[in-house]
Amino acid sequence: MTDVESPAQRAATALIAGLIAHGVRDVVLSPGSRSQALALAAAAAARAGAVELHVRVDERVAGFTALGLAAESGLPVPVICTSGTAVANLHPAVLEAHHSAVGIIVLSADRPAELRGIGSNQTTVQPGIFGDLVRADWDVAAPVGAPAEVDEARELAELAVRAATEGPVHVNLAYREPLSGAVQLPAALAPVEHPAADDDPRGRRERVVLDLEPDDATVVIAGTGAGPRATELAERLGAPLIAEVASEARFGRHVVAAYRDVLRGPHGDAVARAIVVGHPTLSREVPALLQRSDVEAIVVRDPGVEVYDPGRRARVVDEVRVHGTPDPAVVRRWVGGWVAMSRAVLESQAPDDPAPDVAASQSDEPSVRSAFARAELAIMRAPIDRRMLVRALWASTWPHDRLVLGASRLIREADRLVPGKRIPVHANRGLAGIDGTISTASGIALAARRAERRGVVRVLLGDLAAVHDAGALLAPLPDDLMLHVFVGDDGGGTIFDSLEVAATADPDDFARVMRTPVAVDFAALAAAGGWAYRRATTRAELDDALTARERLLLVHVPLAP
């Protein structure tokens, strides 16, 4: 390590130390020359045990890894990159963070003022590159060695962390040569508590509170980000709960799993008020309900997240307070009707496996025992379809695990079929993009590991989403991380089969430019990153994969289109 005096290094070290002092626990970085001072400061801090450092070659993988870390931990996560196209490669993760209000802090290195606008190598217009997507955007001039720069860097770190409580932040940092030098960490470099809720800028706006009483015409809709508050609200109101699979509210006595079908019937016609918590994205029935002129739409605002208002007339509030207690008779009639109809739909669409006939297995008649054995064998040899796959993963996931759902046909299948269950579920539904699912899941797994939540992080996604984030399989991960990726391979984007274009386009053209099947050797792809590999084509093979103890596992599940 050089001991050359470097204003760039002093300022970068002060910034990293300031971020750690204000609650940062993780730093993600992609390598580069212009960002070397930031990288070396982060590495020194990690070596001192003050922060965890995650190195990713591809900025797109780095960005979504930071997104997953921040989403799981609830803490802001800086992601360091060099100049030029490196910054642009973070744009997809910043977009998702913006629409999900997840706090990632982009630290992009840049050329100093004298090298901008003259055609310098790897130099473009980085200030403002993310536009209105970020909650704050600083373009910091190249340090010159002034004593005040250290304090300014620490103050900037505090401002960035505070701004990141509501979403992504961009700090563009110009550096002159020498680009690095000896890293001098503060003597007492240690994490402190995240800023208190009282200091959160979200508290500065006057809150809008709506007072309601229980009735027999209200439903609660829970989208991504809703969480248990939606379940509690539905129970206090005595209302059915329409909870999407990624809402983390799909549990409790009021949940209506088969809500699409129920909304299309007489129960849906009887709705007079709908209260939205979180961001619904998985059905056409929910926006159709909220656009009805005879339905009062109420949206509970989430700070930093765009209000979900498909009818452009919703009443937006910060809190719904319920006065009074629901009448048990009304709850039995109103909520009970929804729940009973939902249960009937689920049983008709995807009945549970029949319980084994224990008496037959112990019968004195050889023919009866043989028939039992054949029936059980037939179940285990049954080919896997989408319904079996989503229900099996849902059933195998418990509160100490994490389930990450990609933007594919499978999340919609799960939303139609799986029953209520209180488990941690994540999906990038801010923009519902196909990209970054495995990277996000790795970030979630890393944050869960640090919090000593030692379950399995399972990822369910389609073949296109898996290939789109194949670079995540090459990233280095700790030895004690359990991350299992289940790829439902139905030969491309079959989600487009349900769109009108499937019936009007030339079949060959449709297959080529819409479904876009990919010929990928998933076993070779897994081997390239050092992942274990399994191929599951039957119920028995799927069950084995769901109980596997490999650290990193990719399970290839071929599905009929």
pLDDT at 27 over 70: yes
173 and 213 together in one domain: no
* pLDDT recorded at residue 168: 98
pLDDT at 220 over 70: yes
CATH of the domain at 256: 3.40.50.1220
Overall average pLDDT of the 503-531 stretch: 92
End-to-end CA distance of the chain: 57
Task: Tell me the residue range of the domain where 280 lies.
Answer: 209-349
pLDDT in tens, 262-294: 999 999 999 999 999 999 999 999 999 999 999
16 and 148 together in one domain: yes
* pLDDT recorded at residue 499: 82
pLDDT in tens, 328-382: 999 999 999 999 999 999 988 766 555 556 666 666 777 666 666 666 566 667 8
164 and 284 together in one domain: no
* pLDDT recorded at residue 265: 95
Alpha carbons within 13 angstroms on the beta-carbon side of residue 106 total 39
Domain end point (choices 161, 177, 193) = 177
pLDDT at 486 over 50: yes
Q: Is residue 372 part of a domain?
A: no
Q: Is residue 406 part of a domain?
A: yes
Give the Cβ contact number of residue 497 at 10 Å: 16
Q: What angle do CA 122, 93, 466 make, to 5 degrees?
A: 105
Phi, psi of 28 (to 5 degrees): -110, 140
pLDDT in tens, 87-143: 999 999 999 999 999 999 999 999 999 989 998 888 899 999 999 999 999 999 999
Number of domains, the chain: 3
* pLDDT recorded at residue 368: 63
**Residue 76 buriedness (CB in 10 A; 0-12 / 13-18 / 19+):** buried
216 and 341 together in one domain: yes
Overall average pLDDT of the 523-534 stretch: 97
CA distances from 257 to 73, 226, 266, 308, 335 (A): 28, 15, 17, 21, 13
**479 and 551 Cβ atoms separated by less than 8 Å:** yes
CATH of the domain at 521: 3.40.50.970
CA 10 to chain centre: 35
Q: Where are the alpha helices (DSSP H) in 238-327?
A: 259-263, 266-269, 285-290
pLDDT at 508 over 80: yes
218 and 170 together in one domain: no
170 and 58 together in one domain: yes
390 and 501 together in one domain: yes
CA-nearest of 93, 48, 41 to 71 is 93
pLDDT at 505 over 80: yes
Domain end point (choices 131, 162, 177) = 177
Is the model more confident about 470 or about 453?
A: 470
Domain end point (choices 331, 349, 367) = 349
pLDDT in tens, 5-21: 799 999 999 999 999 99
Q: Is residue 253 part of a domain?
A: yes
173 and 218 together in one domain: no
**81 and 60 Cβ atoms separated by less than 8 Å:** no
**Rg value, the chain, Cα:** 26
* pLDDT recorded at residue 88: 97
* Mean pLDDT taken over the chain: 92
Q: Is residue 325 part of a domain?
A: yes
* pLDDT recorded at residue 199: 46
* pLDDT recorded at residue 497: 84
| pLDDT-based confidence at residue 152 (cuts at 50, 70, 90) | very high
CA-nearest of 379, 350, 384 to 557 is 384
Q: Is residue 416 part of a domain?
A: yes
430 and 532 together in one domain: yes
Q: What single-letter DSSP state applies at residue 513? A: I
* pLDDT recorded at residue 538: 96
The DSSP H or E segment spanning 296 is: strand 296-300
Total residues belonging to the chain: 561
What percent of the chain has pLDDT above 70? 92
415 and 554 together in one domain: yes
218 and 173 together in one domain: no
What is d(CA 129, CA 383) in angstroms, rounded to the nearest whole number? Answer: 49
Q: What single-letter DSSP state applies at residue 90? A: T
What is d(CA 227, CA 230) in angstroms, rounded to the nearest whole number? Answer: 6
Q: Is residue 187 part of a domain?
A: no
Answer whether the bond into residue 287 is a cis peptide, omega within 30°.
no
Q: Is residue 520 part of a domain?
A: yes
pLDDT at 537 over 80: yes
Q: Is residue 359 part of a domain?
A: no
319 and 409 together in one domain: no
